[in-house]
Amino acid sequence: MIHIAVCDDNSVALDRIVRLLQEYRREKQIPISWHTFFSAAEMVASMQSAEYDLLLLDILMPGVSGMDAAREIRTFDQGVKIIFLTTSPDYAVEGYAVNATDYLLKPVSRERIFQALDRV
């Protein structure tokens, strides 16, 4: 089972990602589960009691940004895969500093997210 945390402050974007994950699970016949979060701080806090294999993480969010959350996560978890989903290309280089697996620009296409998930 692959456990995924999906974090985005925009409910429409979050719903779209969840629909794509449902399609991916159905088509690939891969057992995956996910938990959704509207804030990066909430997701980071959940990692004290839950273990994820992959984080699908928006960058531009109020409060704690996705990039700040990724930096914090790397202080206690080097293994979790991180795929950033964002409207801004401005943080792509910073993604390397937190060892991100991928950096996808929104709106994320079905093909692009499927490719990223296949690599994970």
> Which secondary structure element, helix H or strand E, spans residue 74, and what is its range?
helix 66-74
Neighbours of 96 (CB within 10 A): 9
Residue 36 confidence (pLDDT): 98
Average pLDDT for residues 25-45, to the nearest whole number?
A: 97
% of residues, the chain, pLDDT over 90: 100
**Residue 99's pLDDT band (boundaries 50, 70, 90)?**
very high
Average pLDDT for residues 112-119, to the nearest whole number?
A: 96
Rounded CA-CA distance 98/94 in Å is 7
Look-up: residue for tokens 């779209």? 16
pLDDT tens-place string over residues 38-79 = 999 999 999 999 999 999 999 999 999 999 999 999 999 999
Residue 14 confidence (pLDDT): 96
pTM, full prediction: 0.96
Q: What is the mean pLDDT of the chain?
A: 96
Average pLDDT for residues 28-36, to the nearest whole number?
A: 97
**What is the SS3 assignment for 103?**
strand
Distance of CA 32 to the CA centre of its chain: 14
% of residues, the chain, pLDDT over 70: 100
Residue 74 confidence (pLDDT): 97
